[in-house]
Amino acid sequence: MTNPKFEIKILRQHWIKDDGLDDKTDLCSHGELYLKIGDEILSNSESDSWCLSASDFICFGL
């Protein structure tokens, strides 16, 4: 996004086991993201992993 008040980026995606293998039982993408609102960084590469739903990123146009 280009709005300076809200910024979101996918930093890394993986399956929940994060072992590099395709986990056919895991129906969600997981990973790290950068999320900044105003001057506050809510998530970055040092944060925990999140469930990254495709619908979230469709809403934000990513």
| Residue spans per domain, the chain | 6-60
**Which tops the pLDDT comparison, 59 or 28?**
28
Cα–Cα distances in Å, from 29 out to 2, 38, 54? 24, 27, 8
Tens digits of residue pLDDT in 2-39: 556 888 888 998 888 888 888 878 778 888 989 999 99
Q: 33 exposed, middle or buried (CB, 10 Å; 0-12, 13-18, 19+)?
A: buried
pLDDT at site 62: 55
pLDDT at site 49: 82
Reported pTM: 0.66
